[in-house]
Structure 1
């Protein structure tokens, strides 16, 4: 039995050396040539965005580091946020990356990695608005991003707040609608709101009028039953143990 185990271990080591960077050792000890298609949103800083021809942000930095640790050859595709999960469902993607909230609804149709960040939703208004609280938004319209977890939060609370929801395709459209006065405010991911406020510094364009709503984990998403979940989780665990996970967030002033 000992010889058999040693033989298996030697096979894994030799195979990994032969396949090089594109070989991954699965949870069951098997080695596979790993070329993964990754869908990434281009407009969700600090988690996922494009600068030049590079995908940057907390989520991308973590996933790319995991890829190096676990020998995953990842091919990126730029996609709108609301197209990520549908693309996973039809097998177009192996992994989806952005600031993706883990929700019960999503868990029914895709699998998730270990969470690597926790955030919720915030309601914001223009910095020049006279509105100072959620209560003062009653009877008004707020913008929400199509496909976002913040949209789900807004739908759950819209009647309570007395607001009308306007669903738009991306954050830029929501900000434009708010600046032009088409909507009184918007609801968005708390980490993204706080990141924007850090970037704007002494000249903010928005102000927060709600507490953090429904905080939950952020993770990478996969097709149901994906073998890559265990591999990515293993890489995340290594980053957490080494302190690199926190260091990546710190690079973006997020801890």
Structure 2
């Protein structure tokens, strides 16, 4: 009887050790998996957005670009949706490894984070109701103009306010700006033209016009200060510009090549 018990105990211990070994291997495999967290604000179609009727996945031009570059470097990407105004802080606090959100590398932002080379350049549009009578910048006199909090458009509104009397209001997300225009609380809003065109297609009661912006460089990828990822991403971004991969993504999401 003792021999039977000893044999059973030996078998149980052997199975346990084998299971532990398998568990350790799985754990090590998981530890070896490299994942970068991309911070973004998923309200900026076609750069980053969610097709809520289809899934809760964040898709868009910036997401494809991030996955393409990270994949070439041996990383996978985890996309996290955040308020645009909190993206720089997310990098500083370690909540994100990089930010791709149509962000412009302003001098103020450069004091807190590092940027890649420019990957896309767009313009700006004044969006309002079709019957608003707002067809040029001068028509904004005495009007309430909405902008996304912390965005480059906020800076453009302040530039306009130097010569034209406007009231500036901010909101966290682009859909909020559109809703405020439709409800009549805002007379207009300043939105990046590529993004605005998507709303004008779907919102038939809205119209818009582009204007010449001041001191705008385009969009770049943001990183924590002194991150070794900055140069690595830059190298791959340069290759994508040279071999046509970046233009293919532009055509896919915007329908035309970069000028």
Q: TM-score, normalised by structure 1?
A: 0.81
Of 150, 166, 171, the match for 1:168:
171
Structure 2: distance between partners of 1:149 and 1:177: 19
Structure 2 counterpart of 1:223: 224
Give unpaired runs (5+ residues) of structure 2.
1-27
CA positional deviation for 1:34:
3.9
Q: Is the 1:121–1:153 contact (alpha carbons within 8 Å) kept by the matching residues of 2?
A: no
SS at match of 1:216: coil
CA positional deviation for 1:147:
1.0
Q: Is the 2:40–2:82 contact (alpha carbons within 8 Å) kept by the matching residues of 1?
A: yes
Q: Is the 2:67–2:76 contact (alpha carbons within 8 Å) kept by the matching residues of 1?
A: no
SS at match of 1:204: coil
Distance 1:138 1:210, change over 3 A: farther
Structure 2 counterpart of 1:148: 151
CA positional deviation for 1:120:
3.2
Structure 2 counterpart of 1:3: none
Distance 1:154 1:89, change over 3 A: same
Of 66, 71, 80, the match for 1:68:
71
Between Structure 1 and Structure 2, which shows a larger proportion of strand residues? 1
CA positional deviation for 1:253:
2.7
CA-based RMSD of the aligned residues comes to: 2.3
CA positional deviation for 1:65:
0.8
SS at match of 1:177: helix
SS at match of 1:75: strand
Structure 2: distance between partners of 1:156 and 1:182: 22
Structure 2: distance between partners of 1:75 and 1:86: 18
SS at match of 2:233: helix
Structure 1 counterpart of 2:233: 232
Structure 2: distance between partners of 1:230 and 1:195: 33
Deviations 1:149-192 (A, max 9, x none): 10011112213121010111111111111111111100111221
* Residue 252 (1) aligns with residue 253 (2): yes
Structure 2: distance between partners of 1:115 and 1:172: 26
Deviations 1:80-111 (A, max 9, x none): 21111111122221101111112111112111
Q: Is the 1:48–1:58 contact (alpha carbons within 8 Å) kept by the matching residues of 2?
A: yes
CA positional deviation for 1:228:
0.4
Structure 1 counterpart of 2:188: 185
CA positional deviation for 1:122:
2.1
Structure 1 counterpart of 2:204: 204
Structure 2: distance between partners of 1:157 and 1:129: 19
